[in-house]
Structure 1
């Protein structure tokens, strides 16, 4: 299932980077092995993919197909045993953890099912914390970031004080704190009602419309509807 990528203007607050000609994300020949005693599991088997700037890509597949492993390797949270990942033209794989963390903080926004908010910090402090990883990078005013996700008046709230939809939007604000080249989201609407899901999807589309790459691991038909391309992963391989 595939549709053409739309031509989208760059919106205010998401200016072009010096390496704007590079894809938001490119992965080549990714392999990942896991060993338990004498048993070996091949979680990724030569996965190659690219996400262009301004494009939303959905990754689907049955449980155990390698989707979470793929996301972790793309984000630099895990190292592939073979192959390489570039984000915004910069290699993130096969580097020391400190260097991967630096690239990830500057170029990758990660939105995981487990959440990305520090419980004892309010929403504004969580966004500030995300920005401390890239000193001198600047960024839009916090009020603008909060306004974008509809939380302008909830910046002083702690995560436990937020409703489910607010929590999802706060996590998205943190993931976008440094205007990353690519946003990687793992089931971002899995626990949300239909109305809230549509609101989160609209925000993800806005991010792509502004020129960022968006990759979403999902089981949701609604996410698939808003994607420019859909990639099916099965047994660690991309199906044609």
Structure 2
């Protein structure tokens, strides 16, 4: 993982993530749903941001647009100063592999690959983009940092819920991304494991990167530097 950035170094770098005036529409027959209505936000380097809101408020749609998994109908997203929105699907995938770490509540790992192979696959995907801007963190050292070095050869179905969360975090961080986007990362964890995962996420921000957590968890909100409330596709004042 990256070392802590010096203050003047962090100031010279672009924000980990910026989004400006994001709109997203969905159509079902003649009906149109406005999932995002002019959402603007930023995540600075060294900062943890929590996004909260009721179900149906647009949180998952927002996360997909920020990660380049979905395209906004309007507005623009930059990650580490590089535009990811309104690019070809292949180019979005390339930028995402290098600059974005995604941590989901489940489904972070490919079932037939062990933990180490999952990490190496993520690194191969980024190196396949033809750029040198790929993290070089030692896989074993990263597993040490998340506390599961001894489970490096375990398949996902052999891991406990807490180990799965740690392994998913290791995969998300293997390319040293500018920003980590976490979608309800502690929703199925017990209290002690939740606090440990949140400690690791907070440490990621303190290493000079950005962290954005979509969450319903009070514990996750406690570790955030800022909280953004979303309702009906809009940020609440």
Q: TM-score, normalised by structure 2?
A: 0.93
**Are residues 1:129 and 2:113 paired?**
no
Q: In structure 1, the residue corresponding to 2:36 is in which secondary structure? A: strand
Please, which runs of 5 or more residues in structure 2 have no aligned partner? none
Q: Which of 128-137 and 98-107 deviates more? A: 128-137
Equivalence map 1:38-53=2 (5 Å): 38-53=30-45
Aligned residue pairs total 230
For the Cα contact (< 8 Å) 2:135–2:176, is it kept in 1?
A: no
Deviations 1:187-234 (A, max 9, x none): 000000000000100000110110110000000000000000000000
- Quick check: which one's helix share is greater? 2
Determine whether 1:93 maps to 2:77: no
Contact 2:10 2:208 in 1 (8 A): no
Q: Do residues 71 (structure 1) and 63 (structure 2) align?
A: yes
- Structure 1 residue matching 2:93: 3-state secondary structure: helix
CA distance in 2, matches of 1:17, 1:140: 20
Change (3 A) 1:183 1:166: same
Distance 1:197 1:102, change over 3 A: same
- Counterpart of 2:183? 186
Kept after mapping to 2: 8 A contact 1:19/1:88: no
**Structure-1 separation of matches of 2:10 and 2:54:** 38
Contact 2:20–2:75 (8 Å) recurs in 1: yes
Q: State the TM-score, normalizing by the size of structure 1.
A: 0.92
Give the Cα–Cα distance (whole angstroms) in 1 for the partners of residues 25 and 107 of structure 2.
26
Which of 169, 173, 181 is matched with 1:176 structurally?
Answer: 173
How far 1:113 sits from its partner (Å)? 2.4
In angstroms, what is the RMSD of aligned CA positions? 1.9
